[in-house]
Amino acid sequence: MAVRMELTRIVDCDLNDHHWIHLSETHGERTFPIVIGRAEAQIINRRLLEEIPFRPMTHQLLWNIAEALGGTFEDVVITDLREHTYYAVVRIRCGDQLHAIDCRPSDGVAIAAHARPMLPIYVEESVLQAVVGS
């Protein structure tokens, strides 16, 4: 079962080059951080601050390509945690097909942050239990 989450915090710490996002249960109390890259932290942050870049950044390009090919991003699901690495898929609807494409959670959240409202983010219950318990 996948649990609906909200992006509740972005920590973009230039000082020690540590960056992470916090996901928190929409209808619950559980929350956990995911370490992400500097570039992704900045992209997500800028997007949430409604900073529109002068030229299309990579995740905007990703949206534009998917739309041109008839795809609509539906949601992002963090599906697994193995050896301290999170696995995710971004799901794209195209006609009557739903494609689940393997991605890093940071790319998934950056894609989600491009939508208004933000795309839904889910985490599998098994992953939540592994990181914060039930």
- On whether the CB atoms of residues 3 and 105 are closer than 8 A, the answer is no
Helices (H), the chain: 38-48, 58-68, 105-112, 125-132
Query: What are the structure tokens assigned to 120, written together?
Result: 């839904």
Measured from the CB atom, the residue of 8 and 85 that comes closer to a second copy is 85
- Residue from 10, 41, 62, 109 that binds a second copy (CB under 8 A)? 62
Least separation in angstroms between CB 134 and a second copy: 27
Residues in region 67-96 near a second copy by CB under 8 A: 68-71, 85, 87, 90, 92, 94
Sheet of 31-35, strands arranged across: 31-35, 18-25, 2-13, 121-124, 72-82, 85-94, 97-103
Q: Residue 39 and residue 12: Cα distance in Å, rounded?
A: 10
Q: Residue 62 and residue 65: Cα distance in Å, rounded?
A: 5
- Residue from 22, 30, 46, 104 that binds a second copy (CB under 8 A)? 104
Least separation in angstroms between CB 133 and a second copy: 26
Least separation in angstroms between CB 57 and a second copy: 8
The residues binding a second copy (CB under 8 A) are: 39, 54-59, 61-62, 64-66, 68-71, 85, 87, 90, 92, 94, 99, 101-104, 107
